[in-house]
Amino acid sequence: MILLGPNTATASHGTASGQSFTFLEPGFDQEIVGVFSDMNFMGGIAFAPDGDVWVNDCNTSTHLHRYDIRGVAPEVNGTKLHPESIVESDAGCGMTNHPDGLIYSNTGLGVVQIDAATGAPTGNIFGPPGNSFGIAPDPQTGDLVYAGRDCDRRGAVTDVFEIITVDPATGMFSVFTSLGNFDDILDGLYFGPSGSELFLAMIGALAVTVIDRDLPGARTGTFNRDILLPSPPDGIAFHQDGFLVSTNTDGTISKIVPGPPDTVSVLASGGGRNDLSQVGPDNCLYTSQDFFTRYDDGTVTGESSVVRICPDFIPSPGVGDTFEKELVDGPDEDGDGEIDVVVDVGQGFSTVYAFKMTFNNATGQNVLIKDTVPAEWTVTMIDDAVVAVTNQNPIFETDDENMTGLVSVFQANKKANTKSATKILWNPDANELGAMLTVELETRVRPNRKFAPTSCGPLFLNSGPATVFELEDNQKRGVLFQAAPLCLAAVENPSANPGDRGPEADTDGDGFPDLEEACALGSDPCLFDGDADGDTVPDSVDNCPFAANPNQTDGDGNGVGDAC
């Protein structure tokens, strides 16, 4: 950890303000990701390549809702939600990502293949009809395993309770296991991290049924074991500390420590009807709640919502590789114990920050990560090694044994005393699941020159998204994914009152935090009561401040303009 003296703060993961569950085990954070703009049932969850969240409206199976995990929508009932977009799709309730980069859904027609980037069906359907619920990739074979049509006794045609396995590359399928005449509803199904055990959420039996594929009789239904629960399970997920959780239809989440004996306790309670769940690339659990939202100010509505609970859950295959950036150290001028994200315009002194890059290499790929520190900043340290800033190329190289890998840092070849961005190239150890690189940097100051912003707006710690490339035989194979740039808000004369330099600071008093205006919305964080969309309606009273609507039309009377 980098220590910057007594007037620094350290970032934390997640938010403590979520109220979806009235009880949540200490050590976990919760937040609402988004709510359905249409009053529909919320079902299965999957993820776009950039980490955005896909959720389907399970009772119609015609739409996918996408939540921009890096974007911020206007605040609702004291809650910062993520922007929603809706696309037509053929998804059933159950969805899963797959290592081939696509999404697959269990439907009454069979397994439907979906483009993970757009949400559009590809037209490929294979395997026999499913019950529209449980589906998961098999970590050992790469096949898709899903609940067959008659794994729902409400509409069963036969007495055979079959779970199907299908190869998405060939369409060839077979029976993974048959539980015989089983009077129940199989909802979610998920493999444990090793792939040797399949876990089934059996709603009627109030149990998680465990099938160990390596034990005699397990594949023919003559051997399995049940973990009895106090509540009906729907989704299942696994945690890095060795336990699993079930998201239950009575608004609770059970924590299960496998035995023998199995022990069951309450991880969360007081929520809405939980439906299916998945673990995202941020190692957080995402669970859908049907016709229930409790906003951060305590307001309860009948909207369906998706809730994120962090940290340290285990993604399924196809979601495992993650790349994250976060602030870890910086000034705390307002004394609130948090890193300042609002800084002075045109400051003539040096301000020190540090950010951390983390690459979770679940697939063991050889990758190269490229990032750029803009000219306003000087890189001073990489992990614990001092970087001497020169115009050489490269200026720093290390092979750190502490999960770092190989790092090169250099500046563009420009004349002395001119602004020049700093390039960082990082090749993390392919055998490490959690390679980390910490970069310390400070605002560049030279005599009679100010390299901090000279006007209100964004001050980027890295000038564009950090990009991860896959390498094979020293040949670049294409971008895997990107991490959004880190950004501060530069304003004139920010307050030193507690919290006034944090994420909620609103220097111009227009109802929109400085950080959102500068970095996400592109508006002026210093202009009091601005008009971001130019429709002559001040932002503070505009019912759609970022889309021009001078008439303020609000057909459904929900307080949000129709233009939004």
Listing DSSP states for 257-289 in one string gives E-SSSPEEEEEEES--EEEEEEE-TTS-EEEEE
Contact 543, 549 (CB under 8 A): yes
Q: How many CB atoms lie within 10 A of CB 23?
A: 12
Query: Is the pLDDT reported for residue 497 higher than 90?
Result: no
In the prediction, which pLDDT does 15 show? 40
Locate tokens 């921009």: which residue?
68
Mean pLDDT, to the nearest integer, of 121-132?
92
Question: 253 pLDDT band (50/70/90 cuts)?
Answer: very high
Contact 455, 445 (CB under 8 A): no
| 3-state SS assignment for residue 300 | strand
Question: What DSSP designation does 484 have?
Answer: P
- For residue 442, give Cα distances in angstroms to 228, 356, 375, 466: 55, 15, 11, 19
| 3-state SS assignment for residue 521 | helix
Q: Determine the Cα–Cα distance for residues 167 and 28; give it in Å rounded to an integer.
A: 37
In the prediction, which pLDDT does 400 show? 46
Contact 129, 149 (CB under 8 A): yes
Environment class of 195 (CB within 10 Å of its CB; exposed 0-12, middle 13-18, buried 19+):
middle
Stretch among 77-86, 383-392, 496-505, 538-547 having the lowest mean pLDDT? 383-392
CA nearest 55: which of 265, 379, 288? Answer: 288
Paired tokens of 162: 């079959």
Q: Determine the Cα–Cα distance for residues 119 and 107; give it in Å rounded to an integer.
A: 15
In the prediction, which pLDDT does 242 show? 92
pLDDT tens by residue, 394-404: 444 444 444 45
260 contacts: CB under 8 Å, gap ≥ 6: none
Locate tokens 């309606």: which residue?
537
DSSP element (H, E) containing 410: strand 405-411
In the prediction, which pLDDT does 31 show? 94
> Which residues share a beta bridge with 327?
355
Locate tokens 């690339």: which residue?
281
Stretch among 2-16, 235-249, 301-315 having the lowest mean pLDDT? 2-16
- For residue 458, give Cα distances in angstroms to 310, 383, 423, 433: 29, 26, 20, 33
Contact 154, 185 (CB under 8 A): yes
Query: Is the pLDDT reported for residue 248 higher than 70?
Result: yes
Query: How much is the pTM?
Result: 0.61
Q: Determine the Cα–Cα distance for residues 293 and 3; give it in Å rounded to an integer.
A: 40
Query: Is the pLDDT reported for residue 205 higher than 80?
Result: yes
Q: Determine the Cα–Cα distance for residues 9 and 424; give it in Å rounded to an integer.
A: 25
Q: What are φ and ψ of residue 412, in 5° steps?
A: -60, 150
- For residue 391, give Cα distances in angstroms to 376, 413, 439, 466: 15, 6, 19, 22
| 3-state SS assignment for residue 59 | coil
* Stronger pLDDT, 316 or 156, i.e. the higher one: 316
394 contacts: CB under 8 Å, gap ≥ 6: 408, 409, 410
In the prediction, which pLDDT does 394 show? 47
Query: Is the pLDDT reported for residue 5 higher than 90?
Result: no
DSSP element (H, E) containing 181: none
pLDDT tens by residue, 338-354: 899 998 887 656 688 99
Amino acid letter, residue 524: D
CATH T-level fold of 322-521: Immunoglobulin-like (2.60.40)
51 contacts: CB under 8 Å, gap ≥ 6: 69, 70, 280, 281, 282, 481
Mean pLDDT, to the nearest integer, of 23-30?
96
Paired tokens of 91: 């998804």
Contact 229, 206 (CB under 8 A): yes
In the prediction, which pLDDT does 363 show? 59
> Which residues share a beta bridge with 310?
29
Stretch among 158-162, 356-360, 490-494, 550-554 having the lowest mean pLDDT? 158-162
CA nearest 204: which of 174, 182, 180, 224? Answer: 182
In the prediction, which pLDDT does 457 show? 87
Q: Determine the Cα–Cα distance for residues 69 and 82; give it in Å rounded to an integer.
A: 6
* Stronger pLDDT, 219 or 200, i.e. the higher one: 200
Query: Is the pLDDT reported for residue 447 higher than 80?
Result: no
In the prediction, which pLDDT does 157 show? 56
Which of 207-211, 499-503, 516-520 is most confident? 207-211
Q: Is 481 left (phi over 0), alpha (psi -120 to 50) or beta?
A: beta
Paired tokens of 298: 């305590």
> Which residues share a beta bridge with 12?
none
Paired tokens of 184: 């129940």
pLDDT tens by residue, 518-544: 887 777 888 776 666 777 776 667 777
Mean pLDDT, to the nearest integer, of 477-482?
71
378 contacts: CB under 8 Å, gap ≥ 6: 389, 422, 441, 442, 443, 444
Instruction: Give the up-direction half-sphere exposure of residue 260: CA atoms within 13 A in the CB hemisphere.
Output: 2
CATH number for the domain running over 25-310: 2.120.10.30
Paired tokens of 302: 């009948």
DSSP element (H, E) containing 158: none
Query: Is the pLDDT reported for residue 367 higher than 80?
Result: yes
Q: What are φ and ψ of residue 381, in 5° steps?
A: -145, 145
The H helix count followed by the E strand count for the chain is 1, 44
Domain map (residue ranges) of the chain: 25-310, 322-521, 531-564
In this prediction, what percent of the chain has a pLDDT beyond 70? 80
Which of 27-31, 42-46, 318-322 is most confident? 27-31
In the prediction, which pLDDT does 159 show? 65
> Which residues share a beta bridge with 367?
470
Question: What DSSP designation does 513 have?
Answer: -
pLDDT tens by residue, 95-104: 999 877 789 9
115 contacts: CB under 8 Å, gap ≥ 6: 102, 103, 121, 122
Cis peptide before 216 (omega within 30 of 0): no
Q: Determine the Cα–Cα distance for residues 556 and 558; give it in Å rounded to an integer.
A: 6
Paired tokens of 45: 């969850």
* Stronger pLDDT, 444 or 284, i.e. the higher one: 284
